[in-house]
Structure 1
């Protein structure tokens, strides 16, 4: 039996990188997957096609998640897709959509701050609230946070603050949705491989690899496997937890 057999999952920001990896891994483990995207429709459809080639169900749904009404429409569309297609219902949500711009704090504007906070945090709040209204006992919500929730980086004040808030939102949601049988957790990745990263930031990749006890960057599949675990029956007594995936970087000495 695959770990997510019979589940229906909604993955936000599923057109590339971590989100695409999560969507594919969920399908491999038996879930039907609704892949959310904002503008990268072609990439999301390519991932959905791969899922269908596995013999699993997939649908691409577009939404602007900085808009609360759009978050609710997205969850409703995923729920209606599952119900109309085969009588299914939403059982898992992975809040992955996010942005990570750089901006020195002294010159940061409130508009720049809100763009990151609304994308990374307010969308998590709205999608989680909407999903919890339609999930039954056994439902799971996983937020993609970051090790920057506790270890800020220069020019990432808005990003780090939003991810710290995402971790605390999950703990609060775990407390309040637990009586309804819904679990809420976070996965906090470190530096994850992506195309062109080593060429664009060679000194950062080298520095990370040198500091990581496991000696490498993370891969989207590493994050996806953690999300599968947290959505599966293997994690049925885990909620309000932040699962850090950083190859051991955060345990290194700071002096």
Structure 2
């Protein structure tokens, strides 16, 4: 299948947490837009990641599945190193998508509970970005890093204190990294999705889905490819003068008045 527009022609990308959901949507959109290769990362779901990689190949790009526990700093750096080696020393795009979203009351939350979310959602972003930037500086002549944040970075939901705090920090990390890495031709941005549809969501949370549809000016939930489109844009030449930016992809929910 030829690329839709070739916006990412020749690029080699690493997408973390790409075995399903949003990560899968990002990986496939990169392939559709002409990326030369996509590294599909997973923590444990190797079979699902392999299916994503197979689909990436059908779209005309190279693909490989790499497994790593991103709560381990050394594993983050090892993942980036393996990805770059597979891509013949080049890595032009990193999408930090891997994350967890547990629900838990703030009262009674332990430091271990807090760290389990922060290490996955934030510390992995720090370590993977740092490692990828080194590769981009030395071998790729620059590149892009995109973190998947959330609208909860500025509008937290109940029972999501650890998650919301981690995503707010992810947004600020991108801004800080944009300041420091810009001189090397590396742009760093975030994409903040709203509620993204997934199999079984409406059955599991009918009231929440109904309320979201009523609140969204577009009248629908997001789709993984909506987030993928935003990531493609930020990794492409169309965004060559955009860095340190948080691109909200929420169907307009956060545009509604709160009073």
Q: What is the TM-score with the length of structure 2 in the denominator?
A: 0.96
Q: Residue in 2 aligned with 1:78?
A: 83
Q: Secondary structure at the match of 1:46?
A: helix
Q: Residue in 2 aligned with 1:90?
A: 91
1:164-203 correspondence to structure 2 within 5 Å: 164-203=168-207
Q: Residue in 2 aligned with 1:43?
A: 48
- Runs of 4 or more off by more than 4 Å in structure 1? none
Q: Offset at 1:173?
A: 0.1
Q: Offset at 1:137?
A: 3.3
Q: What is the TM-score with the length of structure 1 in the denominator?
A: 0.97
Distance 2:126 2:198 in 1: 27
Question: What stretches of structure 2 of length at least 5 have no aligned partner?
Answer: none
Q: Offset at 1:56?
A: 1.3
Q: Residue in 2 aligned with 1:123?
A: 124
1:1-255 correspondence to structure 2 within 5 Å: 2-31=6-35, 32-83=37-88, 89-135=90-136, 136-255=140-259
Distance 1:142 1:201 in 2: 29
Q: Secondary structure at the match of 2:190?
A: strand
Deviations 1:65-123 (A, max 9, x none): 0000000000000000011xxxx610000000000000000011111100000000000
Q: Secondary structure at the match of 2:129?
A: helix
Deviations 1:34-82 (A, max 9, x none): 0000000000000101111222100000000000000000000000001
Q: Offset at 1:253?
A: 1.0
Q: Offset at 1:138?
A: 3.5
Q: Secondary structure at the match of 1:107?
A: coil
User: Which deviates more, 89-98 or 132-141?
Assistant: 132-141
Distance 1:108 1:25 in 2: 38
